[in-house]
Structure formats: structure tokens, C-alpha cells
Amino acid sequence: MKQSVSITSPRTKGKHIFQKIIDYARRRKEAKQHRIADLKKEVKFDEHSVPIEELYARYQTDPRQGLTSEQAQNRLLEDGSNALAPPKRTPAWIKFLKQMAGGFALLLWLGAILCFMCYGIQIQMVENPGGDYLYLGIALVAVVFITGVFSFYQEAKTSRIMDSFKKMIPQYAVVLRDGEKKNLKADELVVGDIIDIKFGDRIPADIRILSAHGFKIDNSSLTGESEPQSRMPEFTDDNPLETKNLAFFSTYAVEGTCIGLVVRTGDDTVMGRIARLVTAIKPVQTPIAKEITHFVKIITAFAAVLGLSFFTFAFIIGYFWLDAVIFLVGIIVANVPEGLLATMTVCLSLTAKHMAKKNCLVKNLEAVETLGSTSVICSDKTGTLTQNRMTVAHAWFDNKIFGTSVGSAPREGPTSPSPSSPSTAQCNYKLTSPGKGAGDPNSQLDRECIGWKSLLRCVMLCSRAEFKNEAENLAKPVAERSCNGDASESALLKCAEIMCGEVIDYRRRNPKVVEIPFNSSNKFQVSVHLTDDGDRRYLLAMKGAPERILDRCDTILIDGEELAMNDEWRASFQEAYAQLGGLGERVLGFCDVRLPEDEFPPGYAFSAEDEPNFPLVGMRFLGLMSMIDPPRVNVPMAVERCRSAGIKVIMVTGDHPITATAIARAVGIISPKSETRGEIAARRGVPVESVDAKEARACVVHGTDLRSMPLSELTAILRQHPEIVFARTSPQDKVNIVEAVQSLGAVVAVTGDGVNDSPALKKADIGIAMGIAGSDVSKEAADMILLDDNFASIVTGVEEGRNIFDNLKKAICYVLSSNFPELMPFLMYILTDIPLALGTVTILCIDLGTDIIPTIACAYERPEADIMNRPPRDPKRDKLVSRRMLAMGYGLIGMILSTAGFFVFFVVMAEMGFWTSRLVGIRRSWEAKTCTDLVDSYGQEWTFEQRKVLEATAQTAFFISIVQMQWINIFIVRTRRLSTFHKPMRDHHLLLSVLFETALGCLLVYTPGMDEGLSLYFVKGMWWLPTLPFLVFTLAFDEFRKYLIRRNPGGFIEDETCY
């Protein structure tokens, strides 16, 4: 029985293959979107909440023996090494091709291809074709190649600088394997390993804490918390990032020791998840790239429409098809600003170099302008707005709050307390107090009073911190020295060193006899000392959590007198504690006591094991000290400049809301008179829900609320509140915030230094990383790096970015003004049948010769006075090339330049015998090689060779006229509203560019042999004169236009001509 065979036609088969390709691409795109959406979700852990026995069973780990070598090897093969997968890097050759064929370069490639096509047609159809189109095509290719190589070199050089940031230090871990502790490479760790970690180690994987002794970790790179976080075996929070029994990969142990169980490795760690999110996020197209694309579309459309129109017109009126095609290519190529790509590349590179001198390293040249377009800055707190250095800010004693001056202390040598020492100290930055309470937090203190000396003695003695004993470190100012010890103790040590000096020597003279280290259960630290003040009794000094210290005190030191602790003093303590805590500062309490000599005679054998054999109650309360990571000195001014520039600064931090709010107020992100809903409710004594959100100028959003918040509510907050702080945010939260701000049409800059900031840095329109404190991941994700970690450098970058956009506009308007007189000769050639007034090689001499240096000189133009007082540009309305710029460049200045050029062209022709009336309609006879006796207006006969020499001479005069007109044009474009005479000439670049332009024009015209190479002939000196009236007219016309704009702002003239 015959079977039917279905025959698929090649066309149908091709459709099926094409559909399969489309389906495959769609599935890949959907899978990537799903993967990114999954990475944006909060991390899900249960390893911190399940009983430890269950974890042992899950990972088949023996707590006493650890894993076996065989188990570890199998898991290593199954899960891979404990390392983050390196991000996919774009090969150098692809980067080079992008530079060669991206944006504006495509327009030049199109022009080059058309030139080669036209030259090819001429070879086939014409006996002795000219080489103009060949030369033009080669020149266009050369421009693309040279600028592409230059841009590639600039970015490759930045990449090499980026590589120098990376520190390739091999890391090891102490692992329990086969019942023995082994020192293995960290990348050999597997899930289920039991590891030992001590002070100074980097956490090699995500671990569950099994046991800990005073263990603290620096979580700032992950959560943004500037203060070390204690870790213990107990489960304390459902949120894995908040619980105390987890420590995460790549964070640092700053104090104590612990034993941990590895629960996640490599890309499965919290840090690995963040790294994968960074690599999955697609970079945003820069505003300048969008503007270049827009410009290319405008020029291409204009050239194509104009070229096709005149091609059709020429064909209709009887031109040979080859001539019509040549007209088409000539018109299109005349519209291509050949030198503009080189100009833009050089301008961006010069600005990037200028910014590098101001500590802003630009990785991507286009990022230079992006910063100028920024309308919202989402800034991290720790290390960006603050110094990332805990500092003593206030002290409470004698029932008063005093400020200290240690935050920005000048460099001084150690000094011992003496009557000649400064008697007062003052807070180096002002923090707004939540209430009057126990006094003004910025009051001055007397260094000679008994209360301060007693408090400072306790600070110096009850401490384990010390300066790193390195000559280079000890030579630094005290506030900048590195210390051994946690951040709080280091801050107290620096305070004591600045206030008193010679802290280490003082400790030697008052040796420690016994000590009880700080631990998370007692929340205090105790040390007993011999003293050199003549008192034979032992001194017991204690510091710790204020409420724990107060509970152990029976008396309080007030104005040099020891008074009984009563309810009144406890109330004063609570008021001061609440006031300092409300400032977002970490508060510690201090107390001491002299131990009775009869019970604790000299040589007494003190013991701190289990139950101490000395009293820990009956103390004398000395006072409080509060610490904070203070804001950088110049940040408030930078924030104020951002506000005056119309840029909204939003704080996005992983730190506590109270601390974040305090710093936001200190730097001006929340202004002094602004209130949140909570503060308004507290002032009115009503529930928060009863306060309309629109009444509050400021808003503080907790990360927990943010995660459950719909996008509509988040965008409403961003619209309603000009001053916003997002606290306790995760890396995923930061990405969502950036996306929400971008959805409102804003250009977003994100600053950060930690790994937790990297996804947001990548998602932002421009990511700005810190060069000193920044992690490698954050630097890799960013577009710009602040080499000095200074937020104020961003404001400099914004000003530079805005200035380069203004200067690019000036350069483009300057170039477009000469484009129109390059186009008009082709149009007149077709419409009036006159000889061609400007050749293609001459156009190259303008675009790639005389115009190049003046347009580059525009990059050196200084910003206008109001550049940081005007709002950020609207990307939808304020385009790099707008209708008004085209009207100005083509319609006004370009028309005047064209008129001047044709006037000089006709003057030369008339002087040589051809009046204008004779030239109209003469083209066919003029270009006929067989016509050797063409008669001019005076009856003289001209051969073909003579006519071509005359034509080239007149074209050269046209060229010189454009050079002259560009003298005045470069000064006109310097200002948009201000009179040219009112903007001072502060640098010499513009004048030098005009001199260079003139010198190059003369070199091309008067150098022997140029008539053969470039068809440029000798021009009489008197032929420079006809252009001068046009120079005066152009300047007067533009000054009158600007006067009308200033007189009637927002009027018709400004709407139509002010670009």
C-alpha cells in the first residue's frame, strides 16, 4: 500500500527555521527576565532558624570530626569551587568594533560607502573620472578609524587603571577535616565544613555560628552598617541579614573568635547572589548616546529627503541618471558633518582628563555627560556621605551634654595635660537635637574640670584598643591613624589621644592588673589598675551599655562631688541618653570605684574566671560618651549645591533609620525645618495615621515597609516628598528604588562603595563607586570612580557634565553653520545650472581641517555663571540637536555664511569676465570638454582647462570666505543669551584656534602644489575683503537677536532661535 509523502517546499522550510530562531530568542529573553526577577527577590534562608542538629544531619557533618576528605572532594566536584564566577568580559575586539560602528560612526560609514559607490559608477561611465569622491570616502573611513582607535585607547587605559585596584591575595581557612584541623585554600571549602575564624580573617563562606567568644564582624560592605556587629550562636531574627547567628562571605572579623558551619559557598552565598544580579542587569543607554542616535536620525532623514527630492527633480528636468545620482550623493555627503565625530570624541576625552585631575575617574567617555544630565542622586551613607570612621561626638557629665572636636582635629604632636593646654573643645559638626533635654549638644567643655578628667581616665584605662605600631601610621594625624580594636574603642582612643595625649604611656604608668573583656551577655567591660596619682588603692574602671552601667552605680560624680544616685539623677540620665540616642549616636556609659585597701591590699590576687573575686556593684557613675560615623566636612555644601542645581539627593542605606536620619539632617538631605510624618504626629500628639503624607516634606522609609510596598505607593512617595531617606535596605531594595525613580523619567546617579551597592550602580544611568574604600565588585559595576571617596567631587562632575553638554551644543551649532554653505552649492548647481561653487575636496578641507580646532576649543569654554543654578535638562525636551538649533545653524547663520560665500564666488567670476547673469544656465557648456571657445560677458573665449582653473579659483575664494565667517561664528556660539562682549575671554584656546584656522587656510591656499593635490588655487589679497561686511552684519544681527531674547524672555525669538 502506497504511503503519502508530504513534501515541504524550501520556502515553507525556511519559514519554520526562522520561526524556531525567533522562538528560541524569545525563550532566552524570558528566561533571563525570570532570572533577574528571581535575583531581585529577598534572599531565602532557613539555615539560621533550624536546630543545629538538623543542619548536621542535612549536611551529614560530624561536629567533632567534620567532613571526611572523600565527602569534601565529592561536594567540590558537585558544587564547584568556593569562589565567585568572574563576570563575563566583553572581548577587546568587540569593544573596538563598537567604537568603529556605533552611533555617529554609522553615519560616516554610510557617507563613505556612498562615495565609493559614486566613484565606482564614475569609473564605469566616465572616461577620466575625478578622484574627489574617492578621496572623500577614504577621508571618512580614516576619521572613523582614528577616532575609534582613540576612544578605544581611552577606555582601555581606564580598564588598566581598574585592574590596579584589585588585590589578588590568596586566602586560607582553618578547616576541621577527618578529625584534624587543616589549613586549606578558601576556594576548597564545601557546604558542611566546620571552620575556625579569628580576628582579622575574611569570612570565607556563608556560615552558621556554632560558638563565639566576643566575635564581631564588619558588615559594612554588605549592609552598610558602619559599626561592627556582634555574632553569637543564638537565633535572633527571621531576616537572615539581621540575625546574629550568621556571618557572610567576604565580610571581615574585627574582634574575637568563632567556630562556624559552612552553609553556602561561591555563587550560592548572599554575596554571590548580589554578584550574579550585577552581571545579569543590562547597562542603561547613556543620555549622550541617545542624543547622538537622535542627531544621526535627524541628519540622515534630512539628507535623505533633500537628496531624494533633488534627485527626482533633476531626473524630471532632464538630467542624465548618472548626474542625478552624483547630485544625490553630493547632497547627502554635504550634510554629513565629517569632523563632528572627532570633535565629540576629543571634547569628551578632554573633559574626562580634566575630571581625573579632580579625582573623578571616568571609565566610559559617555558617562562624562551623563553626570551633567543627572536629576536624582541616590547616595549610600557609609563611606560616601560619612567618613567611615567612628568618632566621639558628645559627652555627658556634670549633668550637661558637651561636644568634642575630634572629628576633624588638626595634626598635633602628643601633649600632656597642662595649664597651657586649650581649655575648651567644641563639636566639629552640628547635629540637630530632638529636644532641649539635658542641654545643648554643642556646648563647650572645660578640659580642666574634675568630671571630664575622671571620665577621660576611665576611657583611657578601660580599653584594649591601641594604635598600630608602625612609623608611617604614627606619623599621621591622630584622627587618621589605624588602630587594633573595634570601631568604638578606636574612636575612644583617638578622642583621649587628642584631648590628653600619650595614652599608651599613661597606661604603662597605670598598669592593668585584671580584666573582664566585653561580651554580649554582660554588655560591659571591666579592668582593675594600679595608679600613679599617689592613691595606693586599686582603681576599677568599667564601661558598657549605659543602662547596665547605671544599674551597678550607687553614686554619681557631679561638679567634682560624689552624690547619691536617686530618681532625679536617673531621670537626668534617661533624658541625656534619649537625646544622644535620638541623634543616631552609639552611647556608652562609664563608671569607676576605688577598691578598699583593707580588702584588696597591694599584691592582691585578682581573678576574673567564672565568678570574679572583686565587686562589680557600688560604682560611681562618671558619664556618657556617644559616637557616630561623622559626615564628611564638605558634604553639606555639596548637597546644598545639588539642591540649587535642581538635583534631588536621596539617601539609600542599610543602616538604622535613626542613624540614617541623623546623618541626613547633618548633611542637609533633610533640611532643618523639614519634618517627617512621625515628627509631625509627635509634635501634635496624634497618631501617625492621622497626618496627611503630603504635609510632610521629609520621609524616612524602612526597608521592611519598602519590601511590602507596591510600585504605585513607592512612586507616590518619590513624587510627594522632596527629602527622602531609605534605611535598612537590601541590595535588591536599592535596585527597585533606582527603577522606580527612572520610571518617573529621572536620570539617576547612584553612589556606593560596598558589594551591596553594586546592583544599583549597574542599574543606574551612571554608577559612581569609591576608589579608596570601594570593593572591587562596586568598581567593576560603576561608570565613574571617585578617587578620593568624596561626595563633593560629584558636584564637580555634575558641573563638568553640564558644561560639556553646553559646549557640545556650541560645537555642533558651529559645525552645522558651515554645513549649510557646503550644501547650497549643490542645490544651486541643480536649480540654476551655474558652475559648482564648492568642491567635495574643499568641503573636506573645511570639515576635517579649518573647523576641527575651533570646535575642539569649545570644549575649553568655561561654564556660564548660572550653570549650577538651573534645573537639570529634560531629556525629552532639551535635545543636543533641536529644531531651534537647526533653525539657527541652517536657517540664520548658515544662510548668512552661504550668502557671503556666493558673493565672493560671483565677485571672482565677475572680475575674471563671467557676470552672474552669464553664469546662470551655463553648466552644460561649462562642463563640456569639447567646448573650447565658451564666451564670457566680455566676449573672451575660454577653453575647458581654463574654465576649470577659474572654477577652482572661485571655489577657493568661497572656501576662504567660509573660513573668515567662522571667525565671528566661533565667538557668537559662546553664549546663548548673553552678549558676546559680556563674556570675558579668560583663556587663550579660542583665540589660538582662530589663528590656527586662518593659518591652515592660508597654508592650503598659498602653498605651491596645492592646485594639483587639493584643487586649491592662489587667491588675491583683495578677494579677502568682500567678506568683511558680512562679518559685521553677522555680529550685529546676533547681538540684536540676543538683546531681544534678554528683553523678552520666553518670547517668540527665544522659542525659535535659542538652542
Active site residues: 380
Note whether 851 and 998 are within 8 A (CB).
no
Task: Identify whether the C-beta of residue 826 lies closer than 8 Å to the C-beta of residue 898.
Answer: no
Alpha carbon distance 464, 485 (integer Å) = 7
C-alpha to C-alpha distance for 731 and 155, rounded to whole angstroms: 28
Alpha-carbon dihedral sign for residues 969, 970, 976, 980: negative
| C-alpha separations of 640 from 175, 667, 886 in Å | 52, 9, 36
Interior CA angle at 226 toward 225 and 232, to 5°?
65
* Cα distances (Å, whole numbers) of residue 309 to 96, 298, 299, 301, 329: 37, 16, 15, 12, 12
The three-point CA angle 593-599-601 to 5° equals 90
Q: Are 247 and 801 in contact (CB under 8 A)?
A: no
Q: Residue 697 carries which DSSP code?
A: S
The candidate with the shortest Cα–Cα distance to 290, out of 224, 355, 366, 230, is 366
Nearest to 720 by CA among 674, 685, 686: 674
412 conformational bin, left if phi > 0, alpha if psi -120 to 50, beta if neither: beta
HEC-encoded secondary structure of 1046-1058: HHCCCCHHHHHHC
Rounded CA-CA distance 195/173 in Å is: 7
Sequence-distant (6+) residues with CB within 8 A of 557 are 397, 398, 450, 451, 454, 563, 620, 621, 622, 623
Which residues have C-beta within 8 Å of that of residue 125, sequence separation ≥ 6? 322
The answer to whether the CB of 105 falls within 8 A of the CB of 341 is yes
Three cell numbers at 119? 566613484
Q: How many CA atoms lie within 13 A of 1036 on its CB side?
A: 6
> Do residues 702 and 730 make contact, with C-beta atoms less than 8 angstroms apart?
no
Rg of the chain over Cα atoms, rounded to whole angstroms, equals 38
Cell numbers describing residue 627: 559616637
SS3 content of the chain, % helix, strand, coil (to 5): 50, 15, 35
Would you tell me how many other CB atoms lie within 10 Å of the CB of residue 50?
14
Separation between Cα atoms, residue 713 and residue 719, nearest integer Å: 10
Distance of CA 53 to the CA centre of its chain: 47
Closest CA to 815 of 723, 754, 886, 740: 886
Here the cell at position 1018 is: 592662489
Q: Which three cell numbers stand for residue 773?
A: 574604600
Beta bridge partners of 362: 784
Residues 964/994, Cβ–Cβ less than 8 Å: no
The number of C-alpha atoms within 13 Å of 11 and in the hemisphere containing its C-beta is 0
Can you tell me which residue has the cell 557671503?
900
Give the three-class secondary structure for 247. strand
| Nearest of 670, 577, 167 to residue 381 by alpha carbon | 670
The cell for 368 is: 562624562
Is the alpha carbon torsion for 800, 803, 805, 807 positive or negative? negative
Report helix, strand or coil for 516.
strand
